[in-house]
Amino acid sequence: MGKHFGELYHMRNIITYRLSPFEQRAFANVISKSIGNTFRRFRESVFYVVPPLVGAYVIYDAVEREHDRLMRKNPADFENER
């Protein structure tokens, strides 16, 4: 047939523009804009993420301490062993 994959169908009255992947700059503005953008995104989402994590840690720690306290033996139960 002689046609490549991108040329199989021809559309009329529709104009498309493409940019070759070899002409794109893959790391454009990585240093200049990414550090500020990362800081901004972190600052905006920290108040949504940190409070539930801190609350979950506090609850987990309290439950573990209570479990350890309940698992200890009572010395008063073993006074008359000898």
**pLDDT-based confidence at 27, cuts 50/70/90?**
confident
Rama region for 18: left / alpha / beta (φ>0; ψ in -120 to 50; rest): beta
- Threshold 0.85, pTM exceeds: no
Per-residue model confidence (pLDDT) at position 34: 82
Helix (H, G, I), strand (E, B) or coil at 25: coil
pLDDT in tens, 8-25: 666 777 777 777 777 777
Here the tokens at position 11 are 């559309």
